[in-house]
Amino acid sequence: MNAQTLDAFQVIADPSRRKMLQLLSKDNMTINALAENFDMSRPAVSKHIKIMYKAGFISITDIGRERYCTLKQDGFNELQDFINYFDKFWTNKLKKLETLLNNRIKENLP
Amino acid sequence: MQKEIKQTWFFKQTPEEVWDYLTKPELIEQWLMKTDLQPVKGYKFRFTFTPKTGSPYDGIVDCEVLEVKPFSKLSYSWNGSSNGGQRTFNSKVEWFLVPKENGTELRLQHNGFLLPEDVLNHTNGWNSCLKRFEEFINTVKI
């Protein structure tokens, strides 16, 4: 099954994927164990896992016959980077506004 | 993990003057972006910008006015989309204007990035996820 490549926000926009990330936050789990928590087909679970894997939210390790999923920080970093980006964005814009308003005061001086 | 943006600025102008810079397109354009904003609840508008080369975003922020209290509060939704037209984030921008003796305190809150409604019901789970994530980062040796 093909898994699209989604950005970090699209990944966490889905309730099932959020629940999977929550479960994995408690412990590493095999794909089978993870699937037991969901009322969906095994291929559907695999598809979600692929999406999270591609976006850097989890890593997958083969141990014996089992595939283990572990939380990975890259996906979360992308979310944080995005928020940091916007923080800087607003700082820059509001500095501009400050300059504009300060100039206005000077223009109005006699 | 920081989930929202909060900034506080002080300007020497009155709230009425600062309000103009938040609500009049010809003034907003001078410091923020091109827009057709009207301070009317429910009004749908856009901010437009020229995306940097290679940026996945298409230069359009779709917004809707959520709340208008003249000279004291303005909020709008802030929804970005990428080239495919897929919505990639929904968020909310709120402006608070507080009159002060010598001017106006302007507070900005930009939040909602991570939290579509149903996540709020799972706050505990999500918090523990992020907490573990923080611990994870902190224990990784560089």
For the ranges A22-31, A39-48, B48-57, which has the lowest average pLDDT? B48-57
Helix, strand or coil, per DSSP, at residue A55: coil
Residues B74 and B78: their CA atoms lie apart, in Å, by 13
Q: Are B136 and A71 in contact (CB under 8 A)?
A: yes
Please tell me if residue B12 touches chain A, with a CB cutoff of 8 Å. Answer: yes
pLDDT for residue A80: 76
pLDDT for residue B56: 63
Whole-model pTM: value is 0.72
**Average pLDDT along chain B:** 78
DSSP-assigned letters across all residues of A28-50 = -EEHHHHHTTSSS-HHHHHHHHH
Please tell me if residue B56 touches chain A, with a CB cutoff of 8 Å. Answer: yes
Most confident of A9-18, A97-106, B80-89: A97-106
pLDDT band at A98 (very low <50, low <70, confident <90, very high): very high
Mean pLDDT of A9-20: 83
Q: Are A86 and A37 in contact (CB under 8 A)?
A: no
Token readout for B24 is 């009049």
| Per-residue pLDDT tens digits for A54-77 | 999 999 999 889 999 998 888 877
For the ranges A18-27, B50-59, B72-81, B109-118, which has the lowest average pLDDT? B109-118
Mean pLDDT of B60-79: 94
**In Å, what is the CA distance from A80 to each residue of A10, A36, B15, B39?**
14, 31, 33, 31
| Per-residue pLDDT tens digits for A26-47 | 788 999 999 999 999 999 999 9
ipTM of the shown complex: 0.72
pLDDT for residue B119: 34
E strands, chain A, are 29-30, 58-63, 66-71
* Residues of chain A with a CB closer than 8 angstroms to some CB in chain B: 7, 9-10, 12-13, 15, 18-19, 21-22, 25-26, 71, 73, 76, 79-80, 82-84, 86-87, 90-91, 93-94, 96-98, 100-102, 104-105
| Per-residue pLDDT tens digits for B95-128 | 999 999 999 999 999 887 654 333 333 334 444 4
Torsion sign, CA atoms A72, A14, A47, B84: negative
Token readout for A71 is 């939380």
pLDDT for residue A110: 60
pLDDT for residue B86: 55
Residue A9 to residue B88, Cβ atoms within 8 A: yes
**In Å, what is the CA distance from A69 to each residue of A59, A75, B55?**
6, 14, 31
**Average pLDDT along chain A:** 86
pLDDT for residue A76: 78
Side chain identity at residue B3, one-letter code: K
* Rg of chain B taking only CA atoms, in angstroms: 18
pLDDT for residue A82: 76
Mean pLDDT of B42-69: 87
For A8-73, CATH gives: 1.10.10.10
